[in-house]
Structure 1
Amino acid sequence: MTAYLHGLSTALPPFCLTQTEVRDRAALIFGGRYPQFDRLAKTFDTAGIDKRYSVVPIDWFSENHGWVDRTHAYLDGAKAMFISAARDALADAGWQAQDVDCVVTVTSTGIATPTLEAQAFTYMGFRNDIIRVPVFGLGCAGGVSGLSVAATLARGRPSTKVLLVVVEACSLSFRADRLQKADIIAAVLFGDGAAAACLSSEPSGRETQISFGHGFQKIWPNTLDILGWDVDETGLGVVFDRSIPTFVKNEFATATHAALLASDLSASQIERFVCHPGGAKVVDAIEGALHLRSGSLDAERAVLRDTGNMSAPTVMFVMKSVLNAGATGQMMACALGPGFTASYLPFHVNTEVN
């Protein structure tokens, strides 16, 4: 069976932070304590980001925080984004919450038990026999991998309606206590956001049909220290190695070739690679690795500029932008995340529906 996309949505939290505001606040927090800050501060101006959104106001970052208040902020902010994204995706699909048979929740930036779909259960109006599939720890690869999981579940049983919700509150992992370069780069890049998608094994009935193939992942050994979290008494601390753009240049093409082969595709058949924009340098590296025309990943750069790197949902923002622009044909979604892992999912946009 084939899995079809019925609805797609994105959501942002209430607090918009301009890059200038974030840079100035970071200077107040780090400037007198971190000797290399002045040199690293230039990255705020070259990151290709104008603004991002946060579940907390900017004054929150000047205060000390531990697990308890970080978790309270995550539960409030992530739940609100879950509900907003899920409701909009259902409306886009023409579904009701009671129609959903399975909900897949992807997140890596906070811990909730019961998980977010249970936290949102009463507000959403899901059936009490809904299947819950929470997925944690995929990081920036979570959007593509989450779509792959949701498509697999949709294909597994005829007429099953699957709702995928991808939620990240990266801002809550801001750390002023560690004084590490990775924490400053995280302040440069990361924001909060959510995305949701409705999938089923039945065609959507729309003029344009979007169908998913089978997902593919590549994990590299001995790369655990490239990207992820350190966990200590205060909270989650970002692991963000400077080698990522170089790693992409050296390894991404081979991994992409393997993903194409697994789907019986060639690079010449791909009308558009839909990529997670991890950062301006990463987008440049992807274009180089895949021999794409410089600047061709325009939607990726636009999403990065307007929202920053939101981790897992970011690629779904790019997908929505590409689809809204009227792109058709064979696509390949791709993202890199902790592991170190590359995640791929082919999808086809067909406007010639009988």
Structure 2
Amino acid sequence: MSVKVQSVAKALPAHTRHIDEVMPFLDLWLYGQEERFARKVKKIFENAGVDRRYSIMSPEEIFNNASFEEKNNLYIREMTVLGKYCLEDALKKANLQPADIDFIITVSCTGIMIPSLDAYLINELQLRQDIVRLPVTEMGCAAGISGMIYAWQFLKANPGKRAAVVAVESPTATFQQHDYSMANIVSAAIFGDGAACAILSSHDTDSGPAITGAEMYHFYGATHLMGFDLTNSGLKMVLDVEVPDRIAEHFPDIVHPFLARHGLEIADIQHLIFHPGGKKIIQTVEALFNDLGKNIEDTKEVLRLYGNMSSATVLYVLERFLDRQIPEGDKGLMLSFGPGFSAQRILLQW
């Protein structure tokens, strides 16, 4: 018995802008700021490696001084819609019905919902009344892989079952209009909104790349690197400039021992499915992988097309691989980083 990834599907909100269309709104936001600072901010946006982003809000709404309550209510409404769309599409891709799902794992960190998204999806799609729910919050960008790891563990213990992992995020709902810190500016430059769903199966007859291993790696003394502060105006981004250097420092311990425990080296991996955290993190990881003879072109392309959508983004990268004809026997390494600080890894074999 093996656990396989049957399908992955994405869903995008209605509002979208190219970077060129965003710049005039930056001029309005930066009005009254020192000219040199304003030029620096615009350069950060221009050089972020994000050509287009999607949002549950129009630019006018994003740069409006909406309350935390107003933004969170919009998050609840729109994330429910996007979660439904991507789950329906993933079911369609896998030729499944809603009643075929035994476990549902929902992940998000950019808003607050009680009851959690999975409860809404059970009602919207008439999922089984005995379905097992697991909402995962507060794991940030790593949670897409985290959710898959939990699904893998559930399914290993339960042959003949299926799990849906639904990741929904609206980083634009966390934008702080009166915060001109580098953390708020950089996050606004790299993040976008989106949702994605992966369906995993422990049915012998189901197809897809098999998960042959999965692990988490936790950095000590690094809780300050990434996360959110809960303020009266909403979730305020915490993003330390130290993140790329800390990733580089731990990279050998993150990758090589994990592969070695499965009798592999990086040379045995044909496909790298890396979460696009941002341009600097991509450049750091790309340099490390290039030294090992590998590339992360799909990661860079997802960042360019959609921005960083937190937990959902790595599933966008995974979908690109599932939509291709991958030779049997090829192996893939999924990798993401998130608050804690942590690295999440999954080993795939087609």
Check whether TM > 0.5.
yes
Question: Secondary structure of 1:313's partner?
Answer: helix
Question: Secondary structure of 1:290's partner?
Answer: helix
Give 2:20's aligned residue: 20
Output the amino acid matched with 2:78.
Answer: G
CA contact (8 A) 2:68 2:232 kept: yes
Task: List 4+ stretches of structure 1 deviating above 4 A.
Answer: 292-295
Give 2:85's aligned residue: 84
Question: Secondary structure of 2:251's partner?
Answer: helix
State the percentage of identical aligned residues. 28
Give 1:184's aligned residue: 185
Give 1:254's aligned residue: 253
Taking structure 1 as reference, are residues 258 and 294 closer, same or farther at Cα in structure 2, changes over 3 Å only?
closer
* 1:1-354 aligned within 5 A: 1-33=1-33, 36-206=37-207, 209-292=208-291, 296-328=295-327, 329-349=330-350
CA contact (8 A) 1:30 1:176 kept: no
TM-score, reference length from structure 1: 0.93
Taking structure 1 as reference, are residues 52 and 292 closer, same or farther at Cα in structure 2, changes over 3 Å only?
farther
Output the amino acid matched with 1:182.
Answer: A
Which digits, 9 at most, give the CA deviation of each residue in 1:16-58, with x for residues without a partner?
1211222331231134236623213212121111101001111
State the Cα distance separating 1:142 from its structure 2 match: 0.9
For residues 141 and 66 of structure 2, the distance between their equivalents in structure 1, rounded to whole angstroms, comes to 24
For residues 224 and 233 of structure 2, the distance between their equivalents in structure 1, rounded to whole angstroms, comes to 20
For residues 144 and 124 of structure 2, the distance between their equivalents in structure 1, rounded to whole angstroms, comes to 24
For residues 285 and 87 of structure 2, the distance between their equivalents in structure 1, rounded to whole angstroms, comes to 30
Task: Name the stretch that deviates more: 242-251 or 161-170.
Answer: 242-251
State the Cα distance separating 1:248 from its structure 2 match: 2.4
For residues 159 and 46 of structure 2, the distance between their equivalents in structure 1, rounded to whole angstroms, comes to 50
For residues 66 and 262 of structure 1, the distance between their equivalents in structure 2, rounded to whole angstroms, comes to 49
For residues 181 and 221 of structure 1, the distance between their equivalents in structure 2, rounded to whole angstroms, comes to 24
Taking structure 1 as reference, are residues 293 and 22 closer, same or farther at Cα in structure 2, changes over 3 Å only?
farther
For residues 341 and 293 of structure 2, the distance between their equivalents in structure 1, rounded to whole angstroms, comes to 26
Output the amino acid matched with 1:230.
Answer: D
Task: Name the stretch that deviates more: 68-77 or 254-263.
Answer: 254-263
For residues 31 and 204 of structure 2, the distance between their equivalents in structure 1, rounded to whole angstroms, comes to 55
Taking structure 1 as reference, are residues 71 and 320 closer, same or farther at Cα in structure 2, changes over 3 Å only?
same
CA contact (8 A) 1:22 1:187 kept: no
TM-score, reference length from structure 2: 0.94
Which digits, 9 at most, give the CA deviation of each residue in 1:291-325, with x for residues without a partner?
45788211111111100010111111111112323
Instruction: Say what the alpha-carbon RMSD is for the aligned residues.
Output: 1.7
CA contact (8 A) 2:270 2:332 kept: yes
State the Cα distance separating 1:327 from its structure 2 match: 3.3
Any unmatched runs of 5+ in structure 2? none
Any unmatched runs of 5+ in structure 1? 350-354
Taking structure 1 as reference, are residues 302 and 28 closer, same or farther at Cα in structure 2, changes over 3 Å only?
same
For residues 312 and 298 of structure 1, the distance between their equivalents in structure 2, rounded to whole angstroms, comes to 19
For residues 229 and 204 of structure 1, the distance between their equivalents in structure 2, rounded to whole angstroms, comes to 42
Give 1:352's aligned residue: none
Taking structure 1 as reference, are residues 123 and 282 closer, same or farther at Cα in structure 2, changes over 3 Å only?
same
State the Cα distance separating 1:205 from its structure 2 match: 4.2
CA contact (8 A) 1:165 1:196 kept: yes
Number of positions where the alignment pairs a residue of Structure 1 with one of Structure 2:
347
Question: Secondary structure of 1:129's partner?
Answer: coil
Which digits, 9 at most, give the CA deviation of each residue in 1:63-103, with x for residues without a partner?
11222111111111111110011000111111111121110
